[in-house]
Structure 1
Amino acid sequence: MAFKLDNIPQQKTAPKSDKNSVSFLQKEITLFGSPFSNKVKEDFYTELSVLLKAGVNLKVALELIQNSQKKKQNKDTLNFISEDLISGQSLSNAIQVQKPFTDYEYYSLRIGEETGTLGQVTEQLGDFYARKNEQRRNLINALTYPIIILTTAVLVVAFMLQFVVPMFEDIFRQQNVELPAITKFIIKLSGLMKDYGWIVLTIIAVLLFSKRLFNKKQGYKRFKDNLILKLPFIGSFVKTVYLSQFTQAVSLLTASKVPVVNSIQLVKQMIDFYPLQSALEQVEQDILKGKSLSQSLSEHHFFDDKMIALVKVSEETNQTEYIFDRLNKQYNTQVQQQSKMLSTLMEPFIILFVGILVGVILIAMYLPMFKLSSVIG
């Protein structure tokens, strides 16, 4: 049985329940990670699938999962869902009014309820979040070591400009030594850092703490995501990560007999990456105008030739689910390979960058010393 979702963009989301409208003082303060994060969702859907396939009642399954939660806010969310089920609502309607859940999850669960495949759909959702979390871990693993090295380099250079360079400056001033241009530049840079360093640090701290606020601004998201795509090595890796998520989501939705247009609409709401969302917005409009999916994808540089060619084959052979599943496995393999390659390639470049920075400062400081020693000699 195919469940068609019509006019998804026009459908209004149900209002949030009053039981979620608690005062600020009653809310749980989350310092590390968000409540009902993707990792929690992975465990939630996987455990729910196992319990449903084992013949456990949905309400009992939710109670078992609720008891295994450690965070109070996660327990409260599952408790609200259980109460809605008791009042006669479906699982999809119960999670729709809960903030941590997305439209993608709502419609997927609704499809499972309408087709009697809720156990299979929850298993697919668990698999989706498992791969998404794995890709996030790969990204973190690939960037952690280079970021540590780069941060150390910045701190070393800042220390030298703040404390070491002024010591040499005092010596040069006392000896009245004529300074080369590079030494004058480094000394001037050191002076600027002493005068305005705390201001720069304050600005950086404010930007870091206000990141969540900026993320809600469409202009900032557009600039940030487009900038990431242009970064060498990192841009290609991030693009592959989101292509993997896109192909997996489409594969899961087509397996549930969701029409292509509706699949694009749901994926667009699910994946928070501006270049992909913008491309999918245009793809959706092109499909509604009568173009095929492969033709629509071919007009955007975000989608590579391999995907477009295989999507065209899937349209001709009516094997959309199989093709997108194969594409997802290929992209997932690429993510793992590129994450290892990324850390391997970035490490020598960052070390070279650090060496050049420190070397320039040392050369700038020692050139006048050589001149001073020759004059004394």
Structure 2
Amino acid sequence: MAFQLENIQAKEHQKSQRSFDIDSVLKKEITLFGSAFNNKKKEAFYVELNVLLQAGLTLKDALQLMMHEQKKANDKKLFQDLQDEIVSGKNFSEAIKKQKVFTDYEFHSIEIGERTGTLDSVFSELGAFYLRKNQQRRTIVGALSYPIIVMITAFAAIAFMLKFVVPMFENIFKQNNTELPALTKAIIAASAAFERYFLLGFLFLIGLLVFFRISRKKVWYKKMVSAFWLRIPFVGEFIRKVRIAQFTQAINLLTSAKVPLLNGIQLTKKMIDYYPLQVGLEKVEKDILLGKSFHESIEDIPIFDKKMSSLIKVAEETNQNETIFKRITEQYNQEIEYKSKMISSTIEPIIVLVLGAIVAIVLIAMYLPMFKLSTVIS
């Protein structure tokens, strides 16, 4: 059965309060007690559902079996609620629609699986989707964790020197009436400014974070932030490829579930909260409605590269959309892994050199007058 465009538009108004937001999902995963049904749990959830359905179990029995495996009370309750909805006669898609931990993307995918009789295949694709998403997340965290730790440690060391070490040397210089070099005077002035404005700077930083948190859903904010990151060498290209990989993963899943391309673009546009991609997909949607092919629609959109346009052209000509999109996703995931390692290996020495140079300048500035003082004493 075809998935009608008007059905999506009608449901979009009813579920405007449940629109998919990747940032909110990622933040929900970071909880103090780990009670959220995060992407890692979703991966296991869909993979196990696919295995149990293929083994001949009914959906109700599969959920009951999986419920007994859960250790957290919230997860047990989630499985029990899903099971109760199915026992009451509702479809599985209607059951997960009531649970806030599931997205519109999952709801529509499962609804399509129920309509087309390919529910086990949809579960398999959803499991693969969250597997790749978790791999991307681990790759990004692995690439950035060490540089961030080094940066935080180095800034803490610099702050400690400005707060405690430099004032101690300053007192020694004052007691001996030592003539200070310009570099030493500049470091002492920086230490005094740090002491004077530390609290104010800290409050400003907190206010800035709160402002960003409040503004993160504003269009101007999304446009500004995305443009800023895209201009940074290596990092901008890396972010672009991550978002494109998410797009191709979503389209691959939806085409596997026999969703028409236009409907898939509409769903993906709601799913991926990335301004340049959403603007691009808006244009693609309009072009397709005017009769253009998919590969023609993305040719002039900067976020999509020429290689992707060429492969999609082949997919349209050979009617192999599912195979081609799967291949594109694999290629982008390989590029993301390679670029994450390259960024990590590039950032680490730069951070070490820059912060090491700052520490060295502070130490040299403090010891220059000491050398002069020891010469006078001698």
Same fold (TM over 0.5): yes
SS in 1 for 2:6: coil
* Distance apart, 1:176 and its partner CA: 2.6
Secondary structure of the residue that 1:253 maps to in structure 2? helix
Query: 3-state SS of the aligned residue for 1:6?
Result: helix
Report how far residue 60 of structure 1 moved: 1.2
Match of 2:279 in 1: 278
TM normalised by structure 1 equals 0.88
Q: Matches of 2:34 and 2:240 in 1, distance apart?
A: 24
Deviates more, 1:330-339 or 1:71-80: 71-80
**Structure 1 residue 170 displacement after superposition:** 1.3
The 1:32/1:244 distance shift into structure 2, 3 A limit, reads farther
Three-state SS of the structure 2 residue aligned to 1:8 is helix
2:35–2:72 Cα contact (<8 Å) kept: no
Match of 2:115 in 1: 114
> What is the CA–CA distance in structure 2 between the aligned matches of 1:32 and 1:200, rounded to whole Å?
32
Superposed CA deviations along residues 318-356 of structure 1, whole A, max 9, x for unmatched, are: 222221111111111112222222222221111111211
Supply the distance in 2 between the matched residues of 1:71 and 1:275 (Cα, whole angstroms). 39
Match of 2:164 in 1: 163
Q: Is the 8 A contact 1:4 1:258 kept in 2?
A: no
Give the Cα–Cα distance (whole angstroms) in 2 for the partners of residues 116 and 60 of structure 1. Answer: 18
Q: CA deviation at 1:158?
A: 0.6
Q: Map 1:303-318 onto structure 2 (within 5 A).
A: 303-318=304-319
Q: State the alpha-carbon separation in 2 of the partners of residues 199 and 154 from structure 1.
A: 18
**1:344-372 CA-partner distances (Å, limit 9, x unpaired):** 22211111112111111122222333333
- Of residues 67-76 and 118-127 in structure 1, the stretch that sits farther from structure 2 once superposed is 67-76
**8 Å CA contact retained: 2:35, 2:74:** no
CA distance in 1, matches of 2:179, 2:283: 63
Tell me the matched-pair count.
366
Partner residue, 2:355: 354
Q: Is the 8 A contact 2:110 2:122 kept in 1?
A: yes
Residue deviations 1:68-96, cap 9 Å, x none? 22222222222222222122111111111
**What is the alpha-carbon distance in structure 1 between the residues aligned to residue 139 and residue 326 of structure 2?**
20
* Preserved CA contact (<8 Å) 2:35 2:75: no
Letter in 2 for 1:246: F
- What is the match of residue 130 of structure 2? 129
Give CA deviations for 1:272-292 in whole Å, capped at 9, x if unaligned.
Answer: 333322322232223223332
**For 2:46 and 2:293, how far apart are their aligned partners in 1?**
33
Mean Cα deviation higher: 67-76 or 298-307 = 67-76
User: C-alpha displacement at 1:54, in angstroms?
Assistant: 0.9
Aligned-partner residue type, residue 6 of structure 1: E
Measured in 2, the distance between the counterparts of 1:59 and 1:315 equals 39
Q: Which stretch of the first structure deviates more once superposed, 171-180 or 294-303?
A: 171-180
Residue correspondence of structure 1 range 56-205 to structure 2 within 5 A: 56-204=57-205
The alpha-carbon deviation at position 109 of structure 1 amounts to: 0.5
Specify whether residues 292 and 180 from structure 1 end up closer, same or farther in structure 2 by C-alpha distance, changes over 3 A only: farther
Does structure 1 retain, via aligned residues, the 8 Å contact 2:85–2:95? yes
- Distance in 2 (CA, whole Å) between partners of 1:241 and 1:15 is 26
In the alignment, residue 131 of structure 2 is paired with which amino acid? A
Give CA-to-partner distance per residue, 1:235-275, whole Å, 9 cap, x none. 32222222222111111211222111111111122223333
Structure 2 regions of 5+ residues with no counterpart?
Answer: 18-29
For the residue of structure 1 that corresponds to 2:259, the secondary structure is coil
Answer yes or no: is the 8 Å Cα contact 1:251–1:321 preserved in 2: yes
Aligned to 2:254: 253
Question: 8 Å contact 2:288–2:294 — kept in the other structure?
Answer: yes
Q: Does 1:9 align with 2:9?
A: yes
Q: What's the Cα RMSD here? A: 2.5
Equivalent residue for 1:24? none
After TM superposition, the structure 1 stretch with the greater mean CA deviation from structure 2, 277-286 or 103-112, is 277-286
Within 5 Å, which residues of 2 pair with 1:280-299? 280-299=281-300
**8 Å CA contact 1:162, 1:190 repeated in 2:** yes
Inter-partner Cα distance in structure 2 for 1:330 and 1:10: 36
Cα distance, 1:128–1:344 mapped onto 2, change above 3 Å: same
Distance 1:44 1:212, change over 3 A: farther
Counterparts in 2 of 1:109 and 1:225: CA distance versus 1, 3 Å: same
TM-score by length of 2: 0.88
The answer to whether the 8 Å contact 2:154/2:355 transfers is yes
Equivalent-residue separation in structure 2 for 1:68 and 1:270 (angstroms)? 30
Q: Identity, % of aligned pairs?
A: 52
- Using the TM superposition, give the Cα deviation of residue 33 of structure 1 relative to its aligned residue in structure 2, in angstroms: 5.0
- In the TM superposition, what is the alpha-carbon distance from 1:206 to its structure 2 partner? 6.2
User: Which residue number in structure 1 is paired with residue 25 of structure 2?
Assistant: none
* Counterpart Cα distance in 1 of 2:355 and 2:15: 54
